[in-house]
Amino acid sequence: MVHTDRIGAVDMAKGIALLVIVALTDYSPGIINDWFSSTLETPFLNILATLSFGTFFYLSGITIPFYVSKKINEGHSSPEIIRMIFARTLILLVVGMMLSNYDRVNSGLTGFSGSLWLVLLVIAIFLVWNRYPEREDIFFTVSGLRILGLAILVFLVLKFNSGSFENSGSLIPGSWELPGMFGWGFLISALIWLALRNSIAGTLLALLFFLALNIIGALGLNPYLDPARKYAGILIDGFIPAIILAGHTTGVLLKRYPESEYPKLSLVILFIGIILIVSGIFILKFFPEGTTFNNPAWVLTSTGAASMLFVILLWLTDLRKTPLRLPVTETAGKNFITAYILFFLVSGLISLNKLNILFYKTSDSLLIKTAGSVFLSFVIIFITSSMARVGVRLKF
């Protein structure tokens, strides 16, 4: 049912977005950094990246009101929930920052390659933050695994050296990678819901605030905030928080209205999605050409596209009960960050062993390169689903 903490349409849509994002990341390594800094040379990749990343952020925003309200229903106090929110944010930021730095590893100074550093990093992430069974008989085993994972993380941080003058060769925030980007948006959305609960007016005001920040930044009217952008640029530029809060608003609507009203609500969201897409296309000419990230026009367009995808799947799966559920995709959607990080492990292992599995990358055929990346994306989703069945999945 839709009023539980899990929404089938959200998980399925996230699974679809995951397919595209993993394929994009394989097809164009470093696409997150390039998208984040607006340096993608191909307009098509710019658009596809923005729509798929925007879909992930929007769908994740829908789940946040359910996540926080679940904590309240479990009996946690507001101070406890705030600590949980900051703890989860910190984890996502640390994971995102470290993932974004693996390709800066200087093998001559560290003694091992970036691929080995990446493999060890992902193993440590799973050791520390796996969703272990809550059983007393394995308490010491789980504690030992987590301590081992923490030791590996500390080792990797201490051994890291890029050999560059930037930040004295140590880790830098970079683009935060996808987990870190979501971490900043999660922090804002979760705190806003805790403060405003199911207030549609208050949530829309928060959304408009970050959209205004995005517009101001896109027009170059806040250069005085540039020193803080290295660390809190996700919040200052408003792009990602605005999309997440749009999803957050959808989540509030789903919580406020009974399921009997969902057919009408779906039509309203669908209509708003169309308006957002049209509005985004219309205002595109007023902002710098060739950029998508941090462009207000793409906030509107990607949000509109994501909301339409969500409504279509909500109508088909949760309302019409049509037999279109894809268990593997839905499971991967539930474990989006797990699947995304697993892709780095697979890529690192392939590179480390110098296997010629990714031969399609050297092909001159666009069709072969695309098909290879899409196939790998499906493989990652199947591995994620298989791991989830045996209890290997991250807590965030």
Q: Are residues 139 and 40 in the same domain?
A: no
Structural domain harbouring 142: 101-172
- Given 117, 147, 172, the domain boundary residue is 172
Same domain, 96 and 109: no
Q: Identify whether residues 89 and 111 lie together within a single domain.
A: no
Tens of pLDDT, residues 320-375:
766 666 777 888 899 999 999 999 999 999 988 877 788 888 888 999 999 999 99
Residue 43 lies in a domain: yes
Phi, psi of 246 (to 5 degrees): -65, -45
- Quote the pLDDT of residue 166: 75
Q: What tokens does 254 get? A: 């789903």
pLDDT on residue 329: 83
Residues 261 and 384 both lie in one domain? yes
Would you state the pLDDT for residue 281? 94
Q: Is residue 84 pLDDT above 60, yes or no?
A: yes
Tell me, yes or no, whether 52 and 110 share the same domain: no
The closest of 66, 53, 72, 55 to 7, measured between CA atoms, is 66
Average pLDDT over residues 67-79: 95
Do 143 and 256 have their domain in common? no
| Domain match, 83 and 14 both | yes
Phi, psi of 178 (to 5 degrees): -60, -45
Residue 5 is predicted with a pLDDT of: 58
Cα separation, 394 vs 11, whole angstroms:
16
Q: Return phi, psi of residue 292, to 5°.
A: -120, -50
Exposed, middle or buried, 17 (CB in 10 Å: 0-12/13-18/19+)?
Answer: buried
Would 2 be classed as within a structural domain? no
Residue 1 lies in a domain: no
Number of helices followed by number of strands (H, E) in the chain? 16, 0
Q: What is the pLDDT of residue 3?
A: 46
* Same-domain check for residues 161 and 275: no
Pair (46, 160) in one structural domain: no
Distance between CA 71 and CA 84 in Å, rounded?
A: 9
Q: How confident is the model at residue 234 (pLDDT cuts 50, 70, 90)?
A: very high
6 pLDDT band, cuts 50/70/90, is: low
In a domain, 321, yes or no: yes
Q: How many domains does the chain have?
A: 2
Same domain for 292 and 160, yes or no, is no
pLDDT exceeds cutoff 70 at 4: no
Are 86 and 17 in the same domain? yes
Domain-embedded: residue 396: no
- One domain for residues 119 and 258: no
**Of 157, 172, 187, which residue constitutes the final position of a domain?**
172
What's residue 223's pLDDT? Answer: 87
Residue with tokens 């008989």: 137
Position 26 pLDDT exceeds 80: yes
pLDDT tens across 296-307, in order? 999 999 999 999
**How does DSSP classify residue 315?**
I
